[in-house]
Chain A
Amino acid sequence: MKSKFIPLILILIFLITFIIFFKGLKNSNIYTPDTNLKKEVPSFELKSFENDSIVISEKIFKDNDYYLMNIWASWCIPCKEEHVFLMELKKDDRIELIGFNYKDNFKNALSFLKDLGNPYDIIVSDKDGTASIEWGAYGVPESFLVYQNKIIKRFIGPINNEDLLEIKKITR
């Protein structure tokens, strides 16, 4: 009686372990953060990109307007990819674009904008990247859609045509 049970239990344990690990194989091990968060916009005081004047976040983000806060840098190749879509978004007057120039060289950034166009209404420079951390950003490029002082959507990586359509749908 006893000897019959032990192999059965062993097989059962093996089966359960096998199923757990087999299911685990299919799970993605790449961390994907939540992109639909309703978080308050973090306040910041940063230097303006064009001159040394200080820009305060409370003066940028006003109620009932849509803002796209875009982190970019001239050394970032995917930023060039998404720039076309940002220029497209510039034509939409329901949304304002805020540029976060991330750990960049002023001259390079300026020539980047000269070559590809400047889609931004305001640009601030985040020289050491600490302000981006306050936003919970991972790197460049990354964009946050802001409405009523809340982050309503975030886009990690370059913005593509799908994202563009989604933004237009939200702001409509």
Chain B
Amino acid sequence: MIGEILSVTFITGLIGAMMRMATPIIFAMLGEIITERAGVLNLGIEGIMLMGAMTGFLVTLSTGSLWTGVFAAALVGMVFALIMAVLVVYLGLSQHVSGLGITLFATGLAMFIYRLYFGSPTVPPIVKPFSRIEIPLLSKIPILGQGLFHHYSLTYIAVLLIPAVAILLYKTKVGLKIRTVGENPFAADTVGVNVNLTRTLCLVAGGALMGIGGAFLTLAHQNMFLLDVIGGRGWVAVAMVIFGNWDPVKGAIGALLFGLVDGLQLRLQGLGLHVSFDIFLMIPYVITIIALIGVSRRASVPAALLQPYRREDKGG
């Protein structure tokens, strides 16, 4: 057994599994970071991912095109984020209760639509999922090559999005606007930034990423839609945002660590070793809770998170 675990194929496979398991979390986490940086906590994430997973699957099955499915998942994520925006940005309702409401509604709707379409078939319908792409030369690197450079295109996109979001937030004017809106909406308003519009657009962009993260699970990781396909990955993404201090790169490191434990569990089960990995799977949550200690004193948490913006509230 030990020999099998230390073998090159196992380690290569484990690196690959880590990347695959981290992909949906990276998408969702980046979406949540953009949203939270503008001052909105979107707890609708888990439901939005499930809607994305279901929509992507359904559209791909009816059109035969995987990318159309991904596009539709992004679109449905945007629609649900827009509902969230109406509730928390324009009506100023409690962000966490509204978010949970969106999750409940979207989860119910995803299951409802799936059943409406397929009934309860004994053999669940399947799509022909994305195939993995080998990057020439790089994939030939011993041990690491097959683990890092033989993946679904969505995994590569997720990895490329990490620096992209970091640059957007820290190096561009748009990013500065977003961060100001999340830190001090009154100041942003004074210099002519439309606070509510910025928050809405961030929610919508984040919703698209969450939807794609969900679609990865039904169009690449698996080839069918199961009702528990998301399995709490949305909440993991929320945890990784805090774990990573609202920073895309650090959050991605957290997502990869989570993917590693998840992948290790699957690989060992594949070897016929039935051990409970619950203790390990618990660690990211515990670390995140510990990371929360003193977070309110750190500069990284968007100061206006959870607070609706009403111009007339100033000084009131």
Q: Bound pair: A and B? A: no
Residues of B within 8 A of A (CB): none
